[in-house]
Each structure stands twice: as structure tokens, then as C-alpha cells.
Structure 1
């Protein structure tokens, strides 16, 4: 294990602590007040500076994340509101969406409220507000490496409707700020099912500031509903502006965007990140599987309060399920078939 810049064996680490939680690890807890009451969290501390909360109550999404005591993610004013308060119609999603490092959108619908011959769908679908089951927390020594994993199952079902099952694993190693997300979405019903999937990563202050640089993969890009001149803002950030309006960009990845493992990469870096009270360079790198997530949606909102950058790998756009038909979608999962998604997040300084 590489710990605090030094290579150590398992026994060398164990000799220096009474409990491994002294360094890092995984533990479960529950919130008790206000709209957050009853929400379960799983705190992950990597022992290398990165920590974050996985939320089984909300689809095993990731809420607050920080590096060396300073936040990486944008948190919504809703906090980790319990899904019992969720309003699925229209834009009610906005009243209980947590923000945080990751909000999963889908599984049947992504984007604006929409209706088609199968029914009506609210903003960004239900999966972010669906509790997980079969939740498992694992810490296990493999040689001199301590591996950790949080896993579980989230199902989106309806009588006479689609039956989709998300099996999620979030994993890493103690002493390493690299986090891997492996998802499988299966149609366990007996009819074809539309499947829209978007990973809504939300970055915030102090990672975002006037010294922030945003580097995106090779793509054919357009600004939703606006002229192409706005594309020059994709790699920049600025101070909060209460009068600014959100902008959404679509980046359709080019073939050369994928590396040898079929992964694309985006990076958010700040040359003056306040890590541990000292300003130093920090970069957050996001990678994802291009074959199943060929699009990158960029949500740019440098407002006041809503001061957030969304980088959102997806298999769809965000106009909603009905409009998706005009762009060759939505993606259809046949009965018994599945789609696999792989994402990696790495924090380096």
C-alpha cells in the first residue's frame, strides 16, 4: 500500500494503528433532522485525502465530496432530502435533488418533463430518488492492499410498464484517490424497454473559481438553443453572477476521444485549490466508457447559490423522452439484455 507517500506492507500499517478507521475506510450512518431524517449515508475515506458520502436511500448516488478538507462538489439547498418528499411530476425533482458529486438520471427517462404513448415522465426520471436494496459494504485485504467496495441494487418497475434493474459497485483502495463505478442496467421484463442514462457529476466551489481550467475530450459540440459562439466558454469559469442564465452544451465524442481501454476523459483543475489550508494545484479527472456513453452533456451555471459545473456522460440528450425520438433514440433494451457502464474519478495534486 502507498500511504502518505511511503510504500508499506499490511503488517507495517497495522503496527501503527489501533483501528484502520484511524486512516480511512467505510462506515454507515443515518441522518436525523428535517427533510433529511431517515436518509442513510455511507461515508468513504480513502486515507489519501479524498472523502465522500454514498447515499443508499437515493440510488447509491454520491453526495458531498471533499479533498483535504475542501469541497469538490456542489450541494443543492435541498440537502440529502429523504425520497419520501420526492415529487415526481413536472419539475418537482428540483425540490429534493441533492446535488453532490453524482446524481444518476434515468433509468427510463432523462431531461425535461415529457410525455409519449407510454405515459408522462418528470424531470430527469426517478432513479435518484429510489432507495437501493441488497446494499453491501466490504473492506478486504488483498495482499498488502486494502480494497473497499459499496454495492447494491436499484430497481425501476411498473405493472404493465418497464422493469429495469441497476446493479452498482463503487470501489477503490485505501491510500488511493481513484474511485471506480461499475454499473449494469438490465431489462428483466418481457417487453422492450426505453433506457435513458445520464451521470450528473456536479463540481463546485472551491474547486470552481477564477483559476479553474476545464479540459474536455475531442468532440463535435453545440450549445443547446444558442449560437455556436458560446462554445468558447466551455473551458472557463468565473465569479458568481446572480443574473446569469444556465447554458447546456452537447459534446458528441469523436472516435479519437477514446483511449486504448475505450474511455474518454475530462478534467477540472484549479492551480490554487485550498487543500489542507494551503493553496496548491489540484485536478479531478473523470473517465467513462465511450461505447455506452457516447455523449457528454455540460451544464454551465456560474450563478449565485446555483454555482455549479455539471459534466454528464450520457447515452441521450436532455430534451426529454419524446424529443429523443428526433435524434434516433431513445436507446432500447431488449428483454433479458443489459447495458454496462464504467466510470472512474481520480483526484490528484
Structure 2
């Protein structure tokens, strides 16, 4: 894990062994990542990544395993795709004028044996404390391929109290308490917002344990047009996930039939953007 922080904002660790995703996210001395308070999904790559504050799903698949096409002998796409566990090649890091930046490339081999590259750029603004992620996925194979993406931002439920709420223009009535759904959990996926340069914004807070701050998440809706939110309090799990995502919450077959695959030809690329701050 690589320490990554600026003059202001959270203190992060970036996982060089797994796509340079975020492990710890420390705010006011508290690590908001869920750690071991997560479900056992039976996939050690995801089990490891779920412990952290942010992990990335895709590019060949998102959400739970589904059968692969003919020619793959009854295999299934891995849980949340093939990104996790691919090591990052860090090209450079900068800590200048209170700001922090890190640029890395990650070469991916998909479940279907195709190749792709994730060009990843992390920034923390030392004046505002805002963390920004710019991702570019390039099809480096010789075949066209659909590209999916989901960011899982997982926060430990132990940090929340009765005053903590989800809020955003895409949510019913503009928001509701973080304990939505059934007693022990729930999940929903909604259109993020109208497409705009500003993207979509969702907030989680206030969180008394970090001085009443609120987690503000913004993401580009041109390539992440949906927001999924997941809550799991089935022991030992105690976690809430804010999950900007590229596709509706339906089966892979249904997406394909509806013409909703995002196809990248060889050499083509697709950009994804996310940023967050504690305000």
C-alpha cells in the first residue's frame, strides 16, 4: 500500500497490487473503510478489495457472476469483473504546493482472454481536500469488446448515527436515512441525473464521528449514468456502498438484447470520472 495525501483532505492508501484502488481512507483520525465488516462473497480478489474504501469493477463484467458465452465450457464471469488483483505500474507521483497526484497504468486480461489498459490518474487538491479520479479504459485487444464500469465506495456502517442521511437529486424525495430498505440491508439502482457537464452529486452525512462532515461524491454521467446504493448489516457485515455505474441493474443478457452494451473497437477508449470530498 502506498500512502497518498495532500495538505488538506483524507489520508489515503493506494493498493499497487490491485488496480491502485483505495484501501484506507482516514478522516479526523478515523479509517472510514469497512475492513472485515463485509460479506464473504467467495472470491478472494473481491474479499480483499471490499475491505477498502473504493474498488473498481469491470471492464468485462459488473455485479454478480453470470454464464460466459459458448466456447468457455460453462465458466462464469468473475464476481464484479476482472479488474481486481491486476497490479498497477506507477508512472509518476507528485507532491507539490500542497497537492498530490499519482498516475498509473494497469494492463488487464479479461475473463475472455482479451487485453485492455486502465490509465488511472489520482489527484488531491491541497486547498479544498477534494479527491479526483480520472480513468481511461483502452481496448488493447484485436477484437471489439463491451466495457462496463462500477466504482464501489464502501464506508463502514459503524461510523453512522440516526442523523446520517443519503441525499441527491436522483433519490426519492431528495433523500432519506442511510438505513433504507429492509432491517438488515437493501439495494437500489436509479438514473443518476440529466446528462450535464456538472455530472451527478450524492451526499452521505452528516457523520458525527468525523466532526459532522458529509461525504460528497460527484461523477460524470455521460459514462456513469446510474447510481447504485447498497447497504448490508447482516453480521459480520456493516457497510454501505455508494456505487456510480455504467449500466442498469439487469442481467447481462437483458442489457445485450436492449442494445445497451458500450462497445469499444480495438484501440478505442472510454473515460470515467469521479471525485469526492468531506465537507
Question: TM-score, normalising length from structure 1?
Answer: 0.70
When Rg is computed on C-alpha atoms for both structures, the one with the higher figure is 1
CA separation of 1:273 and 1:134: change in aligned 2, threshold 3 A: same
Correspondent of 2:198 among 262, 267, 291: 262
**Does residue 251 of structure 1 match 2:190?**
yes
Correspondent of 1:132 among 73, 88, 106: 88
Shift of 1:49: 5.0
Q: What per-residue deviation string (whole Å, max 9, x for no partner) do you get for residues 141-197 of structure 1?
A: xxxx33321121112226973221100000123343101100000112221111111
Aligned to 1:236: 177
Aligned to 2:271: 340
Shift of 1:207: 3.9
Partner of 1:57: helix, strand, or coil?
coil
**Does residue 208 of structure 1 match 2:208?**
no
Q: Which consecutive unaligned segments of at least 5 residues does structure 1 have? A: 1-40, 79-86, 220-230
Shift of 1:246: 3.5
Correspondent of 2:243 among 309, 312, 318: 312
CA–CA distance in structure 1, aligned partners of residues 253 and 68 of structure 2? 6
Answer yes or no: is the 8 Å Cα contact 2:22–2:52 preserved in 1.
yes
Shift of 1:295: 0.8
CA separation of 1:212 and 1:327: change in aligned 2, threshold 3 A: farther
CA–CA distance in structure 2, aligned partners of residues 346 and 76 of structure 1? 24
Partner of 1:64: helix, strand, or coil?
strand
Aligned to 1:59: 19
Q: What per-residue deviation string (whole Å, max 9, x for no partner) do you get for residues 113-143 of structure 1?
A: 1123264312101212211124422223xxx
CA separation of 1:159 and 1:295: change in aligned 2, threshold 3 A: closer
Shift of 1:44: 1.9
Runs of at least 4 residues off by over 6 Å: none
Q: Which consecutive unaligned segments of at least 5 residues does structure 2 have? A: none
CA separation of 1:245 and 1:127: change in aligned 2, threshold 3 A: same
Aligned to 1:152: 104
Tell me the number of residue pairs that the alignment of Structure 1 and Structure 2 aligns.
272
Q: Which has the higher contact order (CA 8 A, sep 6+)?
A: 2
Aligned to 1:195: 147
**Does residue 321 of structure 1 match 2:252?**
yes
CA separation of 1:158 and 1:195: change in aligned 2, threshold 3 A: closer
CA separation of 1:319 and 1:95: change in aligned 2, threshold 3 A: farther
CA–CA distance in structure 2, aligned partners of residues 113 and 72 of structure 1? 28
Answer yes or no: is the 8 Å Cα contact 1:112–1:318 preserved in 2.
no
Correspondent of 1:111 among 63, 67, 77: 63
Shift of 1:320: 5.2
Answer yes or no: is the 8 Å Cα contact 1:73–1:205 preserved in 2.
no
CA–CA distance in structure 1, aligned partners of residues 44 and 248 of structure 2? 20
CA–CA distance in structure 2, aligned partners of residues 304 and 274 of structure 1? 22
Shift of 1:322: 3.6
Question: TM-score, normalising length from structure 2?
Answer: 0.86
